[in-house]
Amino acid sequence: MRVYLLSVVLVVLSLVLGACGGGGGAQSAATPTLPAPPAAYAGKTNPLGPDAAEAGKQVFTTYCVSCHGEQGHGDGPAAASLDPKPKNIAELQKVAGDDFLFWRISEGVEGTAMVAWKTTLKEEEIWQVIAYLRTLK
Ligand code: HEC
């Protein structure tokens, strides 16, 4: 009987500890760390000032709104049919550095609808659109 009780206690304990472990995992998922840009992009900063956002809005409206939506919330008309869905880049830009954004927009995200834009857009246009992303809430 004693042994039986002891093993019940152990099982309960391990369940409790297991649940705590799961909780910790969920917490770290809520504050994801972004992958580091490769060396060719790391540390780059926008050479253009906030004024470039005006031109960037044009770029965004022409090339990005269909998926990312007017406010960048990931709810453009094409978004519904995509898997994975376009990111909310208004939220992303609050935590992402210029180098991260410049890298992802230039090179795209493999296996998703986010294509590499460096063949379509000039570097300057990518920095303009990044200046615009910085205005999104
Ligand atoms: C055809 C749809 C589509 C278009 C057009 C598009 N995107 Fe995306 N974008 C996506 C999807 C889908 C993702 C999510 C990729 C993922 O899950 O990592 C994404 C992700 C992103 C990210 C986040 C990348 C990351 O790693 O978190 C940025 C920044 C971004 N897009 C910017 C842009 C900009 C700027 C444009 C216009 C020049 C643009 N996108 C045009 C579909 C699109």
Residue 67 has a CB neighbour count (10 Å cut-off) of 21
> Is the CB of residue 56 less than 8 Å from the CB of residue 131?
yes
Is 24 in the same domain as 54? Answer: no
User: Averaged over 3-29, what is the pLDDT?
Assistant: 56
- Structure-token pair, residue 36: 């580091």
- Both tokens assigned to 85: 């869905």
> Mean pLDDT, to the nearest integer, of 24-32?
49
Whether residues 56 and 123 share a domain: the answer is yes
From the CA of 133, how far away is ligand 1's center (Å)?
Answer: 12
pLDDT tens, residue by residue, 58-67: 999 999 999 9
Nearest-angstrom CA–CA distance, 1 and 11: 15
Q: How many domains does the chain have?
A: 2
81 and 124, same domain (yes or no): yes
Residue 26: per-residue pLDDT: 43
Average pLDDT over residues 122-129: 98
* Ligand 1 centroid, distance to 131 Cα (angstroms): 16
The alpha carbon of 69 and the centre of ligand 1 are apart by a number of angstroms equal to 11
Which distant-in-sequence residues (6+ apart) come within 8 Å of 82 by Cβ?
A: 67, 112, 113
Within a domain: residue 38? no
Checking if the pLDDT of 21 tops 90, the result is: no
Check whether residue 88 and residue 129 sit in a common domain.
yes
For residue 35, the ligand 1 atom closest to its alpha carbon is: 26
| Residue numbers of the domain that contains 117 | 50-133
Judge if 61 and 26 occupy the same domain.
no
- Asked, for residue 40, whether it belongs to a domain, the answer is no
